[in-house]
């Protein structure tokens, strides 16, 4: 294991926004300012940089990138302009941020190869980026705002690792949103037959197939109802033609996947009655729930099942780069079918699927399994001549 060096990274590029969407200096004043951390093994050279990026989080404190660097890989944990606050996140703009890091890695640092390691929410982001880097098509966001990914000349990565990752933010939300909510302004107005946390609900685990079918349909209906509201409000603001261009809103109760309570649904080794953020009933209406706070534009870009461009399945069908998909078989964040579906959809002729038996989402208290996942990744990269540390 190598001793690690940590380097703060600042990448900036010009961008003129219609209005300020991030608090502070990160995305206004005519420029986008990005912060990341490059982690390198001391005394080790490499032609390849592994880039970890999440749309709304920073990853340098997590074990996965550090483990790769400790074994000789050069790693960049790249924060987007929306780091630690995805309220206004526009996925198309996150691609521009990721593209800026890749250009910096090649033109300033001199790396010859770049690998996107998409852990968790970074998985679908990596596929989205690569699909637009290989064959760009997007010139506007789902809200109709200009964002020229065609003209951005995004640099494709040389390979993608899809690790403990879900298909998309929009699909994950549909999987876990609470369909019992009848009034978006009053989370206490609920359909008791759809409230899986209500002990008086006659529908209890193990759930019947009919209940799950109705529950899933109700989840989709709720997401589409919120999407319709977002579109209607955007149109209303446009018609008013005033200085009000955007609006934020709250989505209550967004952590109610019946898989949390029923081990027979898409079974894996996850802990029942638990999720990656704790007790799901508590998280369901807590302050850090998925999609809890959002702007109208961000909802369409991140969370709308029908409008988001970040659908990992769609993007995987357009990606030709080598792909490694890793499933953690006790994942308590990513639903069990997601990695398999991504692998099956991927158009790459060079793709590999592997499972880390018993691994949870964060590898918490599982150093041996983290080591196994890291060796798997670096071994696969070595086969593709993308990992060859030089002392």
* pLDDT above 90 for 304: yes
Query: What is the C-alpha to C-alpha distance for residues 125 and 128, in angstroms, rounded to an integer?
Result: 5
Where does the pLDDT of residue 388 fall: very low under 50, low under 70, confident under 90, or very high at 90 and above? confident
Torsion on CA atoms 211, 212, 214, 218, rounded to nearest 10: 130
Count of beta carbons in the 10 Å neighbourhood of residue 217? 11
Q: Where does 203-279 have alpha helices with state H?
A: 209-240
Bridge partners, 324 (sequence order): 161, 352
* pLDDT above 70 for 28: no
pLDDT at position 15: 86
Where does the pLDDT of residue 204 fall: very low under 50, low under 70, confident under 90, or very high at 90 and above? very high
311-340 residue pLDDT tens: 999 999 999 999 999 999 999 999 999 999
pLDDT at position 20: 77
pTM: 0.96
57-88 residue pLDDT tens: 999 999 999 999 999 999 999 999 999 999 99
* pLDDT above 60 for 378: yes
Rounded mean pLDDT, 285-294: 93
- Sign of the torsion formed by the C-alpha atoms of 100, 102, 106 and 111: positive
Q: Give me 70's structure tokens.
A: 């400790």
Where does the pLDDT of residue 283 fall: very low under 50, low under 70, confident under 90, or very high at 90 and above? very high
162, 173 in Cβ contact below 8 A?
no
Domain ranges of the chain: 4-168+309-383, 171-303
Query: What share of the chain has pLDDT > 70, as a percent?
Result: 98
Class of the CATH domain delimited by 4-168+309-383: alpha beta
Count of beta carbons in the 10 Å neighbourhood of residue 279? 14
Q: Give me 208's structure tokens.
A: 């019947």
* pLDDT above 70 for 127: yes
Query: What is the C-alpha to C-alpha distance for residues 265 and 270, in angstroms, rounded to an integer?
Result: 11
Q: Is 173 helix (H, G, I), strand (E, B) or coil?
A: helix
Rounded mean pLDDT, 192-210: 98
Residue with tokens 């990138």: 65
* pLDDT above 70 for 24: no
User: What is the DSSP code (8-state) at residue 361?
Assistant: S
């Amino acid at each position: 294991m190598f001793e690690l060096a940590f380097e703060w990274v600042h990448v900036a590029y010009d961008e003129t926004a219609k209005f300020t969407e991030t608090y502070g200096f990160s995305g206004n004043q005519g420029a986008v300012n990005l912060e990341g951390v490059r982690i390198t093994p001391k005394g080790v050279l490499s032609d390849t940089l592994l880039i970890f990026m999440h749309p709304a989080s920073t990853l340098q404190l997590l074990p996965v990138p550090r483990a790769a660097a400790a074994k000789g890989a050069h790693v960049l944990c790249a924060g987007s302009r929306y780091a630690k606050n995805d309220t206004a996140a526009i996925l198309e703009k996150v691609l521009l941020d990721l593209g800026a890091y890749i250009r910096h890695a090649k033109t300033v640092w001199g790396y010859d190869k770049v690998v996107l390691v998409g852990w968790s929410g970074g998985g679908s982001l990596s596929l989205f980026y690569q699909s637009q880097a290989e064959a760009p098509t997007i010139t506007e966001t789902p809200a109709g705002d200009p964002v020229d990914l065609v003209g951005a000349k995004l640099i494709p990565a040389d390979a993608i690792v899809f690790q403990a990752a879900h298909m998309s933010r929009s699909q994950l939300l549909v999987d876990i949103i609470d369909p019992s909510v009848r009034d978006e302004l009053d989370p206490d107005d609920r359909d008791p037959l759809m409230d899986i946390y209500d002990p008086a609900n006659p529908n209890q685990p193990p759930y019947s197939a009919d209940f799950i079918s109705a529950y899933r349909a109700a989840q989709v209906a709720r997401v589409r109802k919120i999407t319709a509201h977002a579109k209607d409000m955007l149109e209303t603001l446009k018609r008013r033609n005033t200085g009000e261009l955007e609006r934020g809103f709250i989505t209550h109760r967004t952590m109610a996947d019946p898989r949390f309570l029923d081990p027979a649904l898409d079974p894996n080794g996850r802990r029942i009655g638990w999720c990656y953020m704790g007790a799901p009933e508590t998280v369901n209406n807590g302050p850090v729930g998925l999609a809890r706070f959002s702007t109208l534009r961000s909802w369409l870009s991140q969370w709308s099942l029908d409008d988001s461009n970040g659908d990992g399945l769609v993007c995987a069908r357009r990606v030709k780069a080598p792909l490694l998909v890793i499933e953690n078989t006790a994942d308590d964040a990513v639903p069990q079918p997601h990695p398999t579906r991504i692998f099956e959809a991927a158009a790459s002729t060079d793709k590999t699927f592997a499972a880390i038996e018993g691994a949870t989402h964060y590898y918490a208290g599982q150093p041996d399994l983290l080591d196994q996942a890291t060796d798997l990744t670096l071994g696969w990269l070595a086969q593709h001549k993308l990992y060859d540390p030089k002392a």
